[in-house]
Amino acid sequence: MPCTTLLVGKKASNDNSTMISRTDDGHFDVKKMIVVEPKDQKRKYRSVISHVEIDLPDDPMRYTACPSVDPKNGIWAATGINAANVGMTATETITSNPRVLAADPLVVYKKAEKRGEKDMPGGIGEEDIVVLVLPYIRSAREGVERLGALLERYGTYESNGIAFNDENEVWWLETIGGHHWMARRVPDDRVVIMPNQFGMDGFDMDDAFGEKRENLCSADLREFIAENRLDCNQNGVFNPRDVFGSHSDMDHIYNTPRAWFIGRYLTPWSHRWDGENAEFTPESDNIPWSVVPDRKVTVEDVKYALSGYYQGTPYNPYASHDTGKRGVYRSIGINRTGVTSVCQIRSDAPGAIRGLEWICFGSTAFSALLPVYPNVPKMPKYLSDVTLDVSTENFYWGSRLIDVLADHDYGANIQQIERYQSAVMTNGRRIVLEYDRKMAETGDFSLASEANEKLCAMAKEQTTDTLNKVLLESSVHMKNGYNRADN
Q: Distance (Å, rounded) from C-alpha 281 to C-alpha 458?
A: 41
The answer to whether the pTM exceeds 0.75 is yes
CB 3 within 8 A of CB 364: no
44: left (phi over 0), alpha (psi -120 to 50) or beta: beta
Distance of alpha carbon 103 from alpha carbon 144, whole angstroms: 23
CA-to-CA distance for 393 and 187, rounded, in angstroms? 42
Preceding amide of 91 cis, omega within 30: yes
Q: Which amino acid is at 286?
A: N
Rounded CA-CA distance 424/406 in Å is 17
Percentage helix, strand, coil, to 5, in the chain?
35, 20, 50
Buried b (16+ CB within 10 A) or exposed e, 363-393: bbbbbbbbbbbbbbeebbebbbebeeeeeee
How far, in Å, CA of 45 to CA of 56, rounded?
7
pLDDT for 234 equals: 78
> For the packed helices 410-442 and 447-476, what is the interaxial angle rounded to 10 degrees?
170
Catalytic residue, chosen from 3, 66, 343, 456, is 3
Give the strand order in the sheet containing 191-194. Answer: 290-291, 191-194, 4-8, 18-24, 339-345, 355-361, 370-372
| Residues 362, 403 contacting (CB under 8 angstroms) | yes
The Cα 40–Cα 319 span in angstroms is 49
Residue type present at position 81: I
Residues in contact with 467: Cβ distance below 8 Å, sequence separation at least 6, in sequence order: 392, 398, 401, 402, 405
The answer to whether the beta carbons of residues 454 and 462 sit under 8 Å apart is no
SS3 assignment, position 251: helix
| Domains in the chain with CATH codes | 4-365 (3.60.60.10), 386-478 (no CATH)
Residue 317, H or E segment? none
Burial string for 308-347 (b: 16+ CB within 10 Å, else e) reads bbbbebebbeebeeeeeebeebbbbbbeebbbbbbbbbbe
> Residue 377: what residue type?
P
- Is 3 labeled as catalytic in the residue annotation? yes
Closest by Cα among 301, 258, 302, 266 to 89: 302
What is the DSSP-derived secondary structure letter of residue 297? B
- In angstroms, the Cα distances linking 427 to 13, 17, 25, 366, 403 are 21, 20, 27, 18, 21
State which residues of the chain have pLDDT below 50: none
- Report pLDDT for 235: 82
Q: Do residues 69 and 134 touch, judged by C-beta distance below 8 A?
A: no
Give the tens place of pLDDT for each residue, 409-430. 999 999 999 999 999 999 999 9
What are the φ and ψ backbone dihedral angles of 290, each rounded to 5 degrees? -135, 150
CA 144, CA 162: separation in Å to the nearest integer? 9
